[in-house]
Amino acid sequence: MKQPCVIFDMDGVICHTNPHHAKAFEVFFDNYKIPHTKQEFEEHMYGKHNGYIMTYFFKRSIAGEELRKLEDERVHVSRGL
């Protein structure tokens, strides 16, 4: 008997992607001259959504169209690594 199934939440469950996300955010934040530490990444990036991450590191509210723009920019950075 065949049963359909779905795998979800692969990021961090099936694949350890934190080092890749950290490198992409590191380059992204460097482009904006935003200071960051490994400890901050562990506390304020891993397992958090982009709105929270951007707001924390930019030290102001990031939402809406600005968030989408920054998310797209960060994705482009990660593709270049």
Q: How far is CA 78 from the centre of its chain?
A: 10
The predicted structure's pLDDT at residue 68: 98
pLDDT in the model for residue 71: 96
Alpha-carbon distance of 52 to 63, in angstroms, equals 9
Measured CA to CA, the distance from residue 62 to residue 37 in angstroms comes to 20
pLDDT digits (tens, 9 = 90+) for 10-53: 666 777 788 888 999 999 999 999 999 999 999 999 889 999 99
The encoded tokens of residue 50 equal 């982009």
Cα angle 28-38-55, degrees, rounded to a multiple of 5: 50
Q: Is the pTM of this model over 0.85?
A: no
